[in-house]
């Protein structure tokens, strides 16, 4: 490909304290293999922070030895809620305290400053995307995952077919603001925790640094009147120390993290019943904890995730790799697609045939593989979708999503309004492949029936060893 190895995209992960940056070339190689941090200055307001982002880009390009005019796009992520893909911050994150951040169009502001295309993502979505592609590699476009990222708040991401699920307004995957049952989680007499968003008993009110500071630690200190954390300084400082105490086996700190693990397990249970993903990823400070505590915490999350028997052999629980760099790396891959770099041999997902993990697994067990991704979208998406909805309850082998270029009759599929029970049969026959051009690609290895309880934080070295995260162009 012309320019391969010379053109590049830059990923900027803009946090409350620092900007993490990296560079990806058009051959799929990350040109910076270590954490590159510069001050984010977000507390000083949007104007100062935009200049800090521009300086971070210049700095990381210098380290990577890439000329400014070789950059084709910039991937940007920030914490907080934003409108779908636009970078309008609906509500600033905890560290984005300046009122000017609310409603600020960070994507367009940076795009104007850099005179480069800027692709925006929520920071948890970017990290989730990275974890998904590192874990699944060539199979990423045919797999799904859910991630929970525990930090100052609680972020989340839903990946389906290798793509971020954003929703109508861009707020899909906000697990931190889903309410969860408190019975069996709270101790006797413990108040129902409240979140900064105003909801009582949501995920972030328990499973976040802010949840520890405002809800969990104050209660547990009343149960342990002689604990060292009574004199550890301001509440935020004391809360930040709880993990180190838990890693050392402190009983009170372990109770706090046990409650966090239960809350995360209940959020994963919601995901299991709603999206039925192949993998559940956990990120946050726990990734950097000592192995014994880290493994106990992930195992406790797993214990409190209720899965059905059909799901158990098909799923994986693992940690987000390279946590400090995951956001910037995920932002890079979003930028890669905007740069227009062609796929490198791995098909994108079929947008009309997303299926849950358990159902996909059942299909493979019966010898039915997913249909290869089409080279062009069907001419009538509404028609093919209507046929599937009308066929509810029919055998899954009866109908598949197929490319209209291979099956011209798909273009003539009747509209939803015209479909009746008899017309559905006709539509199904129109959608079913008569003479497939080629056999579908085989699955890359069988899934282990056992659960992967933990992955080492350095697992992202896969990225350096193999050079490219396959299917990144399907982001």
- Alpha carbon of 173 to those of 126, 133, 279: distances in Å? 12, 18, 15
Q: Given this chain, do its domains 8-128+328-338 and 135-321+448-474 carry the same CATH topology? A: yes
Distance CA(85)–CA(475), nearest Å, equals: 13
Does 135-321+448-474 carry CATH code 3.30.420.40?
A: yes
Expressed in angstroms, the distance from the first to the final Cα of the chain is 20
Under 8 Å between Cβ of 13 and 77: yes
Say which DSSP state 230 is in: G
pLDDT at 275: 94
Domain boundaries, the chain: 8-128+328-338, 135-321+448-474, 379-431
pLDDT at 34: 85
Distance CA(183)–CA(398), nearest Å, equals: 44
Number of neighbours of residue 117 by Cβ within 10 angstroms: 17
Which residues of the chain fall below pLDDT 70?
1-5, 80-95, 342-475
Non-local CB neighbours of 237 within 8 Å, separated by 6+ positions: none
Bridge partners (DSSP) listed for residue 12: 21, 76
Distance CA(57)–CA(332), nearest Å, equals: 12
- Alpha carbon of 11 to those of 30, 120, 214, 300: distances in Å? 10, 10, 33, 33
Q: What is 314-353 written as a DSSP string?
A: G-EEEEPSSHHHHHHHHHHHHHHHHTTPPP-S-PPP-TT-
Under 8 Å between Cβ of 350 and 160: no
- The CATH number fitting domain 8-128+328-338, selected from 3.40.980.10, 3.90.650.10, 3.30.420.40, 3.20.20.80: 3.30.420.40
Bridge partners (DSSP) listed for residue 22: 11
Under 8 Å between Cβ of 15 and 334: no
Distance CA(461)–CA(122), nearest Å, equals: 24
Q: What is 191-214 written as a DSSP string?
A: PPPB-TTS-BSBSTTTSSHHHIII
pLDDT digits (tens, 9 = 90+) for 140-167: 999 999 999 998 889 999 999 999 998 8
Under 8 Å between Cβ of 256 and 190: no
Bridge partners (DSSP) listed for residue 121: 77
Non-local CB neighbours of 23 within 8 Å, separated by 6+ positions: 8, 9, 10, 11, 30, 31, 32, 60, 61, 64, 66, 332
- Its pTM stands at 0.69
Distance CA(115)–CA(325), nearest Å, equals: 25
Distance CA(310)–CA(439), nearest Å, equals: 27
């Amino acid at each position: 490909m012309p320019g391969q190895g010379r053109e590049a995209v830059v990923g900027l992960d803009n946090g409350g304290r620092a900007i993490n940056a990296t560079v990806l070339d058009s051959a799929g190689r990350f040109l910076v293999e270590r954490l590159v941090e510069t001050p984010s200055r977000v507390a000083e307001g949007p104007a100062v922070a935009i200049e800090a982002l521009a300086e971070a880009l210049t700095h990381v390009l210098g380290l990577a030895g890439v000329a400014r005019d070789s950059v084709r796009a910039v991937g940007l992520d920030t914490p907080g809620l934003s409108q779908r893909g636009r970078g309008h911050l609906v509500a600033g994150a905890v560290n984005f305290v300046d009122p000017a951040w609310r409603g600020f169009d960070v994507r367009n502001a940076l795009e104007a400053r850099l005179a480069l295309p800027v692709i925006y993502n929520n920071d948890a979505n970017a990290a989730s995307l990275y974890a998904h592609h590192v874990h699944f590699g060539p199979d990423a476009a045919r797999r799904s995952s859910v991630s929970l990222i525990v930090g100052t708040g609680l972020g989340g991401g839903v990946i389906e077919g290798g793509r971020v699920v954003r929703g109508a307004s861009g707020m899909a995957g906000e697990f931190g603001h889903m309410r969860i049952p408190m019975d069996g989680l709270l101790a006797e007499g413990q108040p129902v925790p409240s979140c900064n968003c105003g909801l009582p008993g949501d995920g972030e009110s328990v499973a976040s640094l802010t949840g520890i500071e405002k809800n969990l630690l104050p209660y547990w200190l009343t149960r342990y009147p002689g604990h060292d954390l009574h004199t550890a300084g301001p509440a935020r400082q004391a809360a930040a120390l709880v993990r180190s105490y838990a890693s050392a086996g402190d009983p009170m700190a372990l109770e706090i993290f046990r409650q966090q693990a239960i809350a995360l397990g209940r959020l994963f249970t919601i995901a299991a019943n709603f999206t039925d993903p192949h993998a559940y990823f956990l990120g946050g400070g726990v990734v950097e904890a000592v192995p014994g505590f880290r493994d106990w915490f992930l195992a406790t999350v797993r214990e409190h995730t209720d899965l059905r028997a059909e799901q158990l052999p098909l799923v994986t629980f693992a940690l987000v790799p390279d946590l400090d760099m995951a956001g910037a790396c995920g932002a890079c891959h979003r930028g890669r697609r905007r740069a227009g770099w062609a796929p490198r041999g791995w098909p994108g997902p079929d947008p009309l045939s997303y299926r849950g993990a358990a159902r996909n697994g059942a299909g493979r067990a019966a010898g039915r593989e997913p249909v290869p991704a089409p080279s062009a979208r069907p001419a009538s998406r509404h028609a093919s979708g209507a046929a599937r909805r009308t066929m509810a309850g029919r055998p899954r082998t009866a109908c598949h999503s197929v490319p209209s270029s291979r099956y011209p009759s798909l273009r003539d599929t009747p509209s939803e309004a015209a479909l009746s029970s008899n017309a559905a049969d006709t539509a199904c026959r129109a959608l079913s492949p008569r003479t497939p051009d080629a056999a579908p690609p085989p699955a890359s290895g069988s899934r282990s029936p056992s659960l992967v309880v933990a992955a080492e934080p350095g697992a992202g070295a896969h990225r350096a060893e193999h050079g490219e995260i396959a299917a990144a162009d399907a982001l």
